[in-house]
Chains A and B, each alone.
Chain A
Amino acid sequence: MDTVKLALPASITVTITLTSLANSATGVAGRESNAISNASDLYWDYVVGGKLRTGNVLTGNGFFEIWAHAAVSDAPLYVDTLTGSDANVTFTSRAMLTNCMRQLAQVDTISSAVGRVYWMPPVSIREAFGFMPRNFGLVVINRTTGAASGVAGSNELYAWGRYWTEER
């Protein structure tokens, strides 16, 4: 009898500089990651999760938003103002942002606990898009009402590829 199981290669740390990421009251500005190419790995799916830490000055309750974007062609051509590189990003509008990306998670934060680490549970990229994109990246929008933690290593996102194996 053939056996089909999961294969789980090593997880990777997503290249995205979230240290002291500024708050965006309108939710149009944030940070994008380096894009991840699946052109040669050809994984069936990626699971994305991580941790985000609020800064030491918060004026109210808020949240982090974690979004995923994907290239629309193999050029690769990215949507709106995205470049596929670890950089600050400002979208044309909030409507454009919500229309051209997929939201992976919203992590609520509270003002009474500054400098707290919040966890984003693992989310399937395939499930978010309905298929596994060839090139994809992450965008974090900080709406916590204050800058994100400036402590190095306190904000990290991971991506974990997976595919199937068949034994005969």
Chain B
Amino acid sequence: MPSSSIKSAYAASVAFTITLANLASSSTLVAGRESTAVSNASDLYLDFFVGGKISPTLGSPSPTSGGLIDLWAYASINDTPLYPDTVTGSDAAITFTSREILISSMRRLWTAAITAAAVSYWIPPISLRETFGFCPRNFGVVVVHSTGQPLSSSSGDHALYYTPMYNTVG
């Protein structure tokens, strides 16, 4: 009988389009920045892993110890694509209707409780399929934080990537 191997494969990593430099702190964690949405409508990948780093201010005054940085993922609810609440699918400032609506309409990828130290916080690679239970057709990320100061003003201190995954048979 002919035999084929079924394996995993990776496409090239891509940086999310999201402007995080100087992102203002939101004490209620309802305002932040959304990324440009990624469409999987034609690529049809099986999964994406998302990871990177986010930096509170690395200067003075220091961020507030105990503040949070949240990374959320959004997905379209139809193929229009229609996004939840105030999400537009474009790299832009965003304010959710409420924290409860943010929580109920998105999927949390990662949260860090920060210290006052001037350090970057790393997000380990996280599977979107695992997060949503399926691979979304259109998706993006949202960053909100309550570090008490704007995020680092240097765009190089922030990096969010997605890497597509699929299977090969051959």
Please say whether chains A and B are actual partners in one complex. Answer: yes
Q: How large is the interface on B (under 10, 10 to 19, 20 to 34, 35 or more residues)?
A: 35 or more
A102-B124, A131-B129 given as contacts; is B161 within 8 A of A72 (CB)? yes
Q: Answer whether residue B115 sits at the interface, using C-beta atoms and an 8 A cutoff.
A: yes
Q: How far is the CA of A80 from the CA of B51 in the complex (A)?
A: 12
B41: chain A residues within 8 A (beta carbon): none
Q: Answer whether residue A113 sits at the interface, using C-beta atoms and an 8 A cutoff.
A: no
The chain B residue with its CB closest to the CB of A162 is B7
The chain B residue with its CB closest to the CB of A4 is B6
Within 8 A of B (CB), among A38-73: 38-39, 41-44, 69-73
Q: How far is the CA of A71 from the CA of B159 in the complex (A)?
A: 13
A72: chain B residues within 8 A (beta carbon): 51-53, 122-125, 159, 161
The chain B residue with its CB closest to the CB of A2 is B1
Within 8 A of B (CB), among A112-168: 129-134, 163-168
A93: chain B residues within 8 A (beta carbon): 115, 117, 119
A72-B51, A131-B130 given as contacts; is B124 within 8 A of A39 (CB)? no
A166 and B169 contacting across the interface, CB-CB below 8 Å: yes
Q: Answer whether residue B146 sits at the interface, using C-beta atoms and an 8 A cutoff.
A: no
B51 and A42 contacting across the interface, CB-CB below 8 Å: no
| Among listed B8-16, B30-38, B98-106, interface-contacting one | B8-16
A3: chain B residues within 8 A (beta carbon): 1
Q: Answer whether residue A75 sits at the interface, using C-beta atoms and an 8 A cutoff.
A: yes
A44 and B7 contacting across the interface, CB-CB below 8 Å: yes
Q: Answer whether residue A100 sits at the interface, using C-beta atoms and an 8 A cutoff.
A: yes
A44 and B6 contacting across the interface, CB-CB below 8 Å: yes
The chain A residue with its CB closest to the CB of B115 is A93
B10 and A39 contacting across the interface, CB-CB below 8 Å: yes
Q: Answer whether residue A101 sits at the interface, using C-beta atoms and an 8 A cutoff.
A: yes
B6 and A164 contacting across the interface, CB-CB below 8 Å: yes
B47: chain A residues within 8 A (beta carbon): 131
The chain B residue with its CB closest to the CB of A166 is B4
Within 8 A of A (CB), among B117-170: 117, 119, 121-127, 129-131, 159, 161, 163, 165, 168-169
By a beta-carbon cutoff of 8 Å, the part of chain B in contact with chain A is 1-10, 12-13, 47, 49, 51-53, 110, 112-113, 115, 117, 119, 121-127, 129-131, 159, 161, 163, 165, 168-169
